[in-house]
Structures are given as C-alpha cells and as structure tokens.
C-alpha cells in the first residue's frame, strides 16, 4: 500500500511538472543554426513570450566551457551587460531586443549558445543556437616535385612525386590528386604502387592546414602526364567549393633505347643551303652526341649539327652516336644519314658577248651547263622564250633583234636551283624610225612634246625641224629622241620632221600637230570660242527655238486681229453691207453671228472666229 501511495504521489508530481512545463507561461525562441565566415559578424536573436510582468523577467546568455555553463551576457529590469572574463567579452554586444552580436567571429565561436529567460515565479525557458564557422583555404601549393626520378628495372619502392599543401581552412578540407585532369583514387596503403600520405595541422587561429604527399612508382609514359591537386572545402548553405594548384610534370630519368637522326630542311638540298641535322634519343635526359662524316669528327651542339652553305663536297654519309652509358650493352646507339647536295654549274655561252652583227647575217648562240640532276636551258629575250634546248639561231638578223639575250638553266626537281648568263647583240644598220605618234595641243601656241623612236646602230643622231628642246634616251635596242616645242601656226600646218642618221644612212618621219577636239561639257566654253562643229550645233538649236517663237507670236497676232475685226463689226463701225443684221436685237437668238459665237464658245474658239467671215458672206 505504502508503495502504491508513493507511486501515485510520484505520478501526480510528474503530471504536475509536465503541466507546468506544457502550460509554462514563458516561451523562448532563437535561430537554431547560425553559419558565419570567420572574421565577419554573427547575430544570434532571442525573443520570448510570457504572461509575467516585465519587471520580473531576467534574460541570460550562456556558453559551455569544459562542460560547465558560463554566463556571457544578461538583462534584467534594472541592469544589463556583458560578462567579463569570457572568451567573448571584447567581441560581444547585447541588443535591446535581447540578441547578441559577435564581431569579429573566431573559429572558437563554433559552439552552442543558450538563451534562458526566467519570468519570476511563473517559470523558466531556454533555447539553443548552434554557431558554425567557415573559412576558405588558400590555393594549394605543390612542393617536393623538383627532384628527378630515375627509372630502373626492378625498382620496388615508390618515390615521392610531390606534396600538396592548402593552408587555413575551416572546417577541415579534403585534398584530391589529379593526373591528366582525372582524380586519382585515394589510397592510404603504402604497399600499393601509388598512395598518398595525409597530414593535418590545427593552427593557433583554429584553422586547419592540410597536406597530402603523393608517392608513385612512375613509368616512362608518366613523363608526358601533368599532375595537380585540388582542395575541396565547405562554405555556408551546404556549398562545396574547390580550388586547384598549378600543374606540374615529372622529371623522369631513363636510358635510351633508340636514336633518331634527321634532316630538318624541307625539300631537296642544293649548293649554298644551310643544312640542319638533329639527333635525339628516346631516353631522358638526352646524352652527349658525336657527329662524324667519313671518319671526320664534326662539331655539333646538344644534338644539333649545322652545315653552313654546303657544296657538292659536303654530300655524303653522316653519323650520330649517342654516349649513353646507362643503356644496356646490346643497345646500339648510332644512326647514319645520307646527305645529297644538288648542284647546277654556271651557264656558259658561246660565243661570248657582246656580239656585233650586220643586218641580214645569221647568228647562232650555244649555252651549256652541268648538274647533279636533269636540267632545262632556255634562251629568252625579255619575257619571251626563244629556245628550249640551249641553242639559239637567228637566221637573218634585223634591227629589232638587237638587245639582251638570257640563257637560263634550271633544275625543275630542285626549287630555286637556277643559273643564268647573258649576251648583248648589236645589229649594224641604217636607222629606222617607228610610225610616229602625232602631237595634240589644246590651242595654238601651246607646247607640244613628240617622241621619235629609231632602231639602228651605231646610235643614230637626231635632227628636228623645226628644232626645240631635245633629249635622247635608250630603251633596249631603241633610241628615243624627245622634243618639246611651241605649236605655232607653221607647226600646225606643216608638222615637225624628225631625221635619224648614222654611218649606214638615214631615215626621216613627219609628225603632225593638231588642235585637240574637246567633247566634254566642261570644255563647252573653249568650244564656243574655237570649235566650228560645236558652234553649228548651237546655232541650229537656237534657230529652231526662234522658229517656234515666231509661229506662236504670229498666231497670237492673228487672233488679236480677228477679235478686233469682230468687235468693230458688232458695234457697226465696220461697214460690210449687212446693216440689217447689225440691227437684230441682242435677245434674238436667230442671228448668225450669235449662233456662231455660241458654237465657238463650246468648241474651238479660234475656228469659230475664223469661220465668221464665211458666215457673213
């Protein structure tokens, strides 16, 4: 019984307590979770509702230090403040709204904060806010990646490839290694070929510095790979962010198995070219190389051999030997290369120029050369090709055959391999003046320039009639005399004569000079002053307008005359022997004249008026 009583008593006490809690007349509300970045400001609000009188309410903020609650701020009816000697003392502000503001936030502020409200005897209530502190780490830095790793057969231990460090994060971040942009699975077992050793340091600031050291047993192919690491970290609102280190390569050392020897020149090599040869191995680093040709040692540098301006004597077999002492004894580290130097000898012409030939004679020119390859020989004068076989035959030489002849030798299979020779032929003969180009001037008295162009050799002497300011130029086999003189009426009438003479004879031609006929509108004024054709056209046009005006004036005069006659007739001042008609009252519509007038009004007035005299008769 006793027991039961006790149990009942406890039961009721529990019920009462529960009711007290459930019906508590104080209720506190806070933000359950506040996320903030280290160094920034966190505001933790706290509000309550109660039925108790405000004067009895006390609000307290607590933290827990080593499992013991510690008050950091409080407010009652008559006092409020921030507690001294707490980790937050200098960084805390208690607001009138009971919120606390922490600034600047430190990593240690990541903890629970409790807001407790005591409403006198009415009750107590509290609520918890959890503060989370975040901080983005520094960009990861790679170190320890600068040693080279030697690759030997049968190596069983892994080498340190590089260490990745990312400083100052909160919360603790994660490091991920990448090879050629692909994440490498995280392996901690040091018995594996590839593994990572992680490290973490908590700094005095509370921030984490993380490291990851990558170990590998690299293969040759890894020399071509790029590595980097990435830090993955959390930020407020469940954000996951990443930042990557710079990339790096592995420096792997391994002996050569093959030598490669090649010519860098494009296309066939010809005399005068620079020849560039490169020797390299598939090992790393590249060993020393020895270059030779027919037992003669040559000086190259770092696997590169340069032959400057080669001749046919430089053609031959070149050898490159790699001095790799680590390579196995069976490995032959040498290669040879055949260098072929194409050439074309200077072109020789027979007979040698310059040649002096008389008009009508025959000329035969031969040109020759030698080459490493098949070649072409062309005779050319200017851009005109005269022969393709090296022989040039001119059966009967004319004055215009005089000039410079080129023999061009070329090797079509070797671009740029070309040589040439030339011969000047002069043809003796009496001057021949080309068909003249006549002169034009705008008006009499202007200056006119004429060109008299003559073939013939020796160089002709020019005589102009009338004379003027004269000069002679030579263009190929032509001699050109240029004269400038005034276009006097004598010049306009008789022209200008050019005479060219040398020891073999002479030739002369007359140039006419005329007034330029201008046909453009801009020159209309000049035309009015001097051009007879233009004047005629103008006069004709003017004449036709005069005719039109005259006709119009005549018709008008006739009309006025007819009108005057009509009115005079109507008033009786003009006697026509028909007085009775004159007396007809104006109202009488039978009168011929009136009728005629009416019809005139309706139709052709002129016709009506002209008809009137007929009607009168």
Ligand X SMILES: *[C@@H]1O[C@H](CO)[C@@H](O)[C@H](O)[C@H]1NC(C)=O
What are the two backbone dihedrals, phi and then psi, of residue 78, each rounded to the nearest 5 degrees?
-110, -5
- Distance between CA atoms of residues 232 and 214, nearest Å: 17
Q: Given strand 195-202, what is the order of strands in its sheet?
A: 141-143, 159-169, 208-216, 195-202
Q: Given strand 57-65, what is the order of strands in its sheet?
A: 33-37, 123-134, 112-119, 57-65, 68-75, 80-82
Q: Exposed, middle or buried by CB within 10 Å (0-12, 13-18, 19+), for 102?
A: buried
Binding-site size for ligand X (CB under 6 A) equals: 5
**Closer Cβ to ligand X, 376 or 422, answer by number:** 422
- Distance between CA atoms of residues 359 and 45, nearest Å: 121
Name the minimum Å distance from CB 344 to ligand X. Answer: 15
Name the minimum Å distance from CB 484 to ligand X. Answer: 31
By CB under 6 A, the residues from 534 to 593 that bind ligand X are none
Name the minimum Å distance from CB 246 to ligand X. Answer: 9
Residue 350 in contact with ligand X, rule: CB under 6 A: no
**Closer Cβ to ligand X, 222 or 401, answer by number:** 222
Name the minimum Å distance from CB 176 to ligand X. Answer: 20
Specify the DSSP class assigned to residue 21: H
Name the minimum Å distance from CB 146 to ligand X. Answer: 11
- Identify whether the C-beta of residue 427 lies closer than 8 Å to the C-beta of residue 357: yes
Distance set, CA 600 to CA 197, 223, 570, 611, 613 (Å): 128, 118, 16, 9, 13
Residue 224 in contact with ligand X, rule: CB under 6 A: yes
**Closer Cβ to ligand X, 408 or 526, answer by number:** 408
Name the minimum Å distance from CB 380 to ligand X. Answer: 10
Residue 145 in contact with ligand X, rule: CB under 6 A: no
**Closer Cβ to ligand X, 226 or 558, answer by number:** 226
Name the minimum Å distance from CB 421 to ligand X. Answer: 6
By CB under 6 A, the residues from 314 to 333 that bind ligand X are none
Name the minimum Å distance from CB 404 to ligand X. Answer: 6
Name the minimum Å distance from CB 249 to ligand X. Answer: 4
**Closer Cβ to ligand X, 162 or 429, answer by number:** 162
Residue 226 in contact with ligand X, rule: CB under 6 A: yes
Name the minimum Å distance from CB 382 to ligand X. Answer: 11
- Distance between CA atoms of residues 187 and 193, nearest Å: 10
How many CB atoms sit inside 10 A of residue 546's CB? 9
What binding mask, one character per residue, do residues 402-431 give for ligand X by CB under 6 A, x or -?
--x-----------------x---------
**Closer Cβ to ligand X, 195 or 248, answer by number:** 248
Name the minimum Å distance from CB 211 to ligand X. Answer: 22
**Closer Cβ to ligand X, 130 or 406, answer by number:** 406
Neighbouring-strand partners of residue 169: 208
Residue 147 in contact with ligand X, rule: CB under 6 A: no
Residue 249 in contact with ligand X, rule: CB under 6 A: yes
- Distance between CA atoms of residues 214 and 268, nearest Å: 51
**Closer Cβ to ligand X, 40 or 352, answer by number:** 352
Name the minimum Å distance from CB 324 to ligand X. Answer: 21
> 125: closest CA among 114, 136, 139, 137?
114
- Distance between CA atoms of residues 480 and 452, nearest Å: 6
**Closer Cβ to ligand X, 56 or 422, answer by number:** 422
**Closer Cβ to ligand X, 394 or 406, answer by number:** 406
Q: Exposed, middle or buried by CB within 10 Å (0-12, 13-18, 19+), for 266?
A: exposed
**Closer Cβ to ligand X, 367 or 433, answer by number:** 367
Residues in the chain: 617
Q: Which two tokens stand for residue 333?
A: 């580290």
> 143: closest CA among 216, 23, 229?
229
Question: Which residue carries 């030579």 as its tokens?
Answer: 474
Q: Which two tokens stand for residue 33?
A: 């979770």
Residue 529 in contact with ligand X, rule: CB under 6 A: no
**Closer Cβ to ligand X, 476 or 530, answer by number:** 476
Name the minimum Å distance from CB 182 to ligand X. Answer: 15
3-class SS at 460?
coil
Strands 269-270 and 341-342 come out as: parallel
**Closer Cβ to ligand X, 224 or 443, answer by number:** 224
What binding mask, one character per residue, do residues 386-405 give for ligand X by CB under 6 A, x or -?
------------------x-
DSSP 238-304: TEEEEEE---EE--EEB--S-EEEEE---S-EETT--EEEEEEESSBS--EEEEEETTEEE--BTTE
**Closer Cβ to ligand X, 150 or 492, answer by number:** 150
Specify the DSSP class assigned to residue 54: G
> 350: closest CA among 340, 369, 336, 365?
365
Q: Find the angle CA(463)-CA(465)-CA(468) to the nearest 5 degrees.
A: 80
Name the minimum Å distance from CB 256 to ligand X. Answer: 18
Binding site for ligand X (CB under 6 A): 224, 226, 249, 404, 422
């Amino acid at each position: 019984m006793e027991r039961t009583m006790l149990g009942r008593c406890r039961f009721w006490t529990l019920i009462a307590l529960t009711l007290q809690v459930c019906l508590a007349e104080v209720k506190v509300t806070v933000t359950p979770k506040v996320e903030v970045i280290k160094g920034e400001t966190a505001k933790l609000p706290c509000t309550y509702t109660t039925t108790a009188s405000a004067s009895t309410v006390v609000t307290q903020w607590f933290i827990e230090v080593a499992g013991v609650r510690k008050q950091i701020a409080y407010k009652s009816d008559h006092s409020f403040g921030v507690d001294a000697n707490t980790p937050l003392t200098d960084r805390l502000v208690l607001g009138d709204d009971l919120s606390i503001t922490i600034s600047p936030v430190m990593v240690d502020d990541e903890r629970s904060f409790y807001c407790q409200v005591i409403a006198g005897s009415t009750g107590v209530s509290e609520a918890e806010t959890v503060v989370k502190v975040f901080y983005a780490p520094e960009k990861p830095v790679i170190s320890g990646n600068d040693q080279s790793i030697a690759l030997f057969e049968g190596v069983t231990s892994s080498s340190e490839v590089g260490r990745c460090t990312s400083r100052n994060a909160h919360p603790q971040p994660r490091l991920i290694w990448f090879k050629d942009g692909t994440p490498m699975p995280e392996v901690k077992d040091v018995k594996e070929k590839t593994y990572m050793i992680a490290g973490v340091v908590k700094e005095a600031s509370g921030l984490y510095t993380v490291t990851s050291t990558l170990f590998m047993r690299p293969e040759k192919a890894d020399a071509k790979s790029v590595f980097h690491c990435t830090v993955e970290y959390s930020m407020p609102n469940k954000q996951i962010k990443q930042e990557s280190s710079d990339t790096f390569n592995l420096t792997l050392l391994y002996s050569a198995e093959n030598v490669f020897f090649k010519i860098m020149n494009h296309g066939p090599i010809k005399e005068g070219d620079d020849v560039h040869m490169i020797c390299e191995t598939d090992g790393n680093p590249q060993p020393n190389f020895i270059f030779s040709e027919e037992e003669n040692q040559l000086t190259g540098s770092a696997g590169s051999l340069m032959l400057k301006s080669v001749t046919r004597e430089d053609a031959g077999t070149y050898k490159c030997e790699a001095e790799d002492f680590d390579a196995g004894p069976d490995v032959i580290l040498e290669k040879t290369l055949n260098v072929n130097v194409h050439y074309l000898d200077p072109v020789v012409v027979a007979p040698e120029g310059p040649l002096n030939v008389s008009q009508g004679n025959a000329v035969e020119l031969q040109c020759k050369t030698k080459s490493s390859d098949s070649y072409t020989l062309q005779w050319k004068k200017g851009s005109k090709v005269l022969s393709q076989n090296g022989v040039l035959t001119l059966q009967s030489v004319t004055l215009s055959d005089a000039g410079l002849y080129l023999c061009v030798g070329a090797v079509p299979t070797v671009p740029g391999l070309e040589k040439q020779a030339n011969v000047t032929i002069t043809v003796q003969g009496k001057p021949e003046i080309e068909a003249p180009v006549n002169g034009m001037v705008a008006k009499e008295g202007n200056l006119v320039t004429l060109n008299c162009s003559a073939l013939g050799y020796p160089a002709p002497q020019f005589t102009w009639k009338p004379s003027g300011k004269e000069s002679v130029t030579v263009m190929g086999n032509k001699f050109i005399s240029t004269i400038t003189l005034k276009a006097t009426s004598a010049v306009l009438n008789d022209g200008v004569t050019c005479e060219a003479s040398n020891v073999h004879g002479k030739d002369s031609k007359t140039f006419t000079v005329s007034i330029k006929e201008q046909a453009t509108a801009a020159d209309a004024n000049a035309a009015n002053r001097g051009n007879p054709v233009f004047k005629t056209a103008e006069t004709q046009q003017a004449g036709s307008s005069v005719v039109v005006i005259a006709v119009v004036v005549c018709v008008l005069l006739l009309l006025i005359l007819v009108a005057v006659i009509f009115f005079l007739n109507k008033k009786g001042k003009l006697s026509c022997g028909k007085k009775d008609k004159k007396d007809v009252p104006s109202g009488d519509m039978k009168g011929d004249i009136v009728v005629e007038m009416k019809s005139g009004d309706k139709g052709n007035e002129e016709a009506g008026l002209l008809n009137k005299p007929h009607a009168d008769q």
